[in-house]
Structures are given as C-alpha cells and as structure tokens.
Structure 1
C-alpha cells in the first residue's frame, strides 16, 4: 500500500513538471494563432477567440525569416557533419590507443566545453574581421564546430569503449586492414553513438544565439535565433509579438518532434559508459 502511494506521488510530480515545461510552448503556439490587430485590445485569454493564420503568412513572406531559416539549416547541417566525422576519429583514438597525454586531452576537451562563450565573443569578432570571414556562414561554422566537438568526442568515446576489442582483432585476422576493420566493424557497431552525437550537435547549432548575434550583422549569414530579435510585424502599426511567436513555433516544433522520436537514442548516448558490464 505504501509503495502504491509513493508511486502515485511520483506520477503527480511528473505530471506537474510536464505541465510546467509545456506551458511556455503552449502559450507560444496560442499567441501565434491570435489576430495581431486585436490580441491586445481584448480581455486576456489563453486560447485565441478566433484562430487565424495571419502570423504564419507574415513570417513566410518576410525575407528576413526565410533567409535566416536557410542559414540555420546550412550552418547546423555542415557543423554537425564535420563535428561527427572529426569526433569519430578522435574518440576512436582516445578509446582504443594508448599515447602520452590521452587523459589530459580528454580533460582539455571538457574544459573547452565549459568555457563561457561570452569571453570569446570579443576576440572572435576582431579575428573574424581581420580574416574577412565576419558575417559569413564560415564564420559561424568554425566556432560552432569548436564548441560542439568536446561533447561529441566525450559521447562517442564512451560508445567506442563499449565495443569489444576482440571483434576488431578478429576482422584483422580474417584479412581486413585496420581501416577496413574500423569502417566495416567498428563504425556500424557505434552507429547509435554517432546518431546521438549528430542529434545533440544539431540542437546546439540550431539554438545557439550569442555567437549568431555577435558574429553577423546582415541577413547574409544571420541565423534564426538572431533574426528573431530583429523581427517586426507586417506593418509599423502592428505588434510583432504574434509574428515572433509564429516564427518561434516554426523553428521549435521540428526540434520537439525530433526529441520525442529519438529520445531513447539521446538518453543512450548520454548514459553510455556509465555502467561497466
């Protein structure tokens, strides 16, 4: 009886946390369907009295948002692909090989991941202007890659450590080269780790704001999180709040769907290596 009562308390607590976490998202969706001309003049209601698509039409007719959405997709995909490829080889070397400074290298990777981005904005701003890559997609991909690599290496090295060393040795005994054993045996077995790393890296690049707002100045390379701060309504007489909410829904809902679909793989990647069998 006591265990059942405790389980009920845990269920109630979980539902409370779920409601607390979902409330901002539901409020954002609700605002995105409210009429921008009247939503402030009416008495406040959680759900709109009249559901309209005006805000979404405004968003997709604005070149600021469409160009930012394109930039976000390009930057996030390129940074994710490069991060996964580089981290795959680095994590394999850390997990499989013994070389001087291996623990120091992994510790430095974690130190970089914890280093505050705000401290690097000023130096990066000056460097990028001198190098001619300020306000370019390359100028965003490089720092995104720098901050995404430590987490990618840490996650993937845990997966590589779980793969039995004997499987790679057996492939080499059968005549496979070291590269063939790595490509045909190790990489397929580490696919869940690669997938998890790709998802986490993509989320980081997709949601990053500080570097995106500091290292861009025009629509040429500005990503969605930065572009939303410059977003306006359909005219100067309309409040931009509902349009901003519509744009936020467009870029948030796909991420939420990905998390719900691949939550088990994400958790597997975060907890890999936590228990030694």
Structure 2
C-alpha cells in the first residue's frame, strides 16, 4: 500500500534511488574502467567518465587467444541447454498440472528435493557419468549436465503459470469445435508465453554464468565457456601484473549477450513475473 504521507513517500524515493545507484555503480565502473589505460586506472585520482578513453582494451581482448572459441562454446551450449530445458520443463509442468497419474505426488516431491540438494554434492557422480560416456570437454557432455541442473527449477516455475490458467478455457474452445491440441495452441499457449519467457531468462542466466561445473567438465583449453576463459585471461597477464582495463573489457563483453537477451524479452518477462506472482 502506497503511503499518503508526503514525507514518507519522499524518504522512500530517496532510499530507492540510493539502492539503485549502489546496485548500478559496479556495472558502470566496470564499463568505465574498460575504456581506461593502465596509467589512468593506476592513478590515485579516479576518472569517472569513459569519454576520451581508449578502445585498446577491447581490441586486446577480441584478438586474444581463445576468446572466439569460448564465445562460440558458450553460445552453443547455452542455446542447446535452453531449448531442451524449456521443452522438457514445459511438458513436465503440463503433466503435473493438468493430469492425474500414479506417482504424480512423488514426482513433485522429487523436484522439490532436487532443489534442496547442494550442487557440489553431485559433482563427483556427474563427472564419473560424463567421463564414462566419453563426453568430457564436449558440447554434448556439458549440455546434458546443464539441462539436468536447470530443468527441475524451470519445471517448478512453469507449474505455477500452467496451474494459474483454468482448464475450462480449453474445454470451452473444444465445445466451439477445436480439437484438444488446437484448443491448447490457440487458447492456453498464448497465455503461457510470458511465463515461458520469464522461465527462459532464469534458465539462460544460470547456464551462461555457470562456472563450477564447467571448470570440472571442461578441462581442455580448446573447450572453454566464457566464464572459464575469463578466469584464465585474468591470470595470464605478463610479469604477474593484472591488466585491469583488459579484465574489465573482457567482463563487459561477457555481459553483453545477457544484456541483449534481456532487452529482447524484457516486455514479456515483466508480464510473466507479474503473472506468476498473481496466479502462482
């Protein structure tokens, strides 16, 4: 409930602005530093504007060994994991929300329990499984692990959206002459689209930024995702000195696909988050 007291509203606005600045400043400082020369960064007087800086840091990052391969690896792995995860989680959410079958409660309980397990507890078992299949340092191997890790949360999230859409809408469409599949595609699926987008964003972020599993499954320098490449890049500076400008430029480039993806889907994501909060 919004307060009618002007003083409280002003105080709330000030607090919101302070929190927003505190959240955004590290991102701004990363981008700002990526355009600064090593001498400017080392200067005791900070430079708060990137204007008049240099693009040499970005040129060094793009031309560095392994960046192109790591970018392709991340894009391919994230794309595969995202598509498979959304399809499997969507079908699973439909099954546990729309149908009554033996073992349904057990499946829902298993999904919850999987979310409670620490990821680190399964690293050894996952490594042995992927190694036994001969899929270490491969796109297929790391994609399988990512799908298995992300599907339970995505399925549970989508379940709330599916349960929030009355089945009566599909039944009404069937009475009007639609088949069951046609009623689902014409009535239910458009209403679920914002939820699919919102769930896809969370799945995308989990896979794109994942580091721990990738560091175990992708040990070859020729098969690294961007987070792994960024770690090695920041440790490979000459003479033991970290080139902070290049590190910041590399971090910015790693974040760019996330920003682009978010800008594309932000409208539907907002609708999906609000819909899930109301209907879930």
TM-score by length of 2: 0.87
> What RMSD in Å do the two structures reach over aligned CA positions?
2.6
Alignment of 1:192-271 (within 5 A): 192-232=194-234, 236-237=238-239, 239-256=242-259, 258-259=261-262, 262-263=265-266, 265-271=268-274
CA 1:221–1:184: 2 relative to 1, 3 Å: farther
CA separation of 1:2 and 1:144: change in aligned 2, threshold 3 A: same
Whether the 8 Å contact between 2:33 and 2:41 is mirrored in structure 1 is: no
Post-superposition shift, 1:67?
Answer: 0.9
Q: SS of the counterpart of 2:242?
A: coil
Alpha-carbon distance in structure 1 between the residues aligned to 2:21 and 2:82: 32
Q: Give structure 2 stretches of 5+ with no counterpart.
A: none
| Residue from 65, 68, 91 that aligns with 1:66 | 68
Aligned to 1:86: 88
Q: Does the Cα contact within 8 Å between 1:68 and 1:219 map onto a contact in 2?
A: no
Q: 1:276 to 1:218 in 2, by over 3 A?
A: closer
Equivalent residue for 2:135, pick from 112, 133, 136:
133
Superposed displacement of residue 57, structure 1 = 0.3
* 8 Å contact from structure 1 (residues 233, 240) kept in 2: no
Asked if 1:99 is matched to 2:101, the reply is yes
Match of 1:177 in 2: 179
Task: Point out the more displaced range, 247-256 or 210-219.
Answer: 247-256
Q: 2:113 maps to which residue?
A: 111
For residues 277 and 237 of structure 2, the distance between their equivalents in structure 1, rounded to whole angstroms, comes to 54
Partner of 2:53: 51
- 8 Å contact kept, 1:136–1:220: no
CA distance in 1, matches of 2:10, 2:174: 54
Query: Using a 3 Å threshold, how does the CA distance of structure 1 residues 174 and 219 change in structure 2: closer, same or farther?
Result: farther
The 3-state SS of whatever aligns with 2:66 is helix
CA distance in 2, matches of 1:77, 1:93: 24
Aligned to 1:194, the other structure's residue is in SS state helix
Is it true that 1:11 corresponds to 2:13 in the alignment? yes
Question: Matched residue of 2:5: which SS?
Answer: helix
Contact 1:67 1:219 in 2 (8 A): no
TM-score, normalised on structure 1?
Answer: 0.88
* Contact 2:66 2:222 survives alignment (8 Å): no
Deviation at 1:28?
Answer: 1.0
Secondary structure of the 1:231 match is helix
How big is the shift at 1:40? Answer: 5.5
Aligned equivalents of 2:94, 2:171: Cα separation in 1: 15
Report the number of matched residues.
276
Q: Is the 8 A contact 1:27 1:46 kept in 2?
A: no
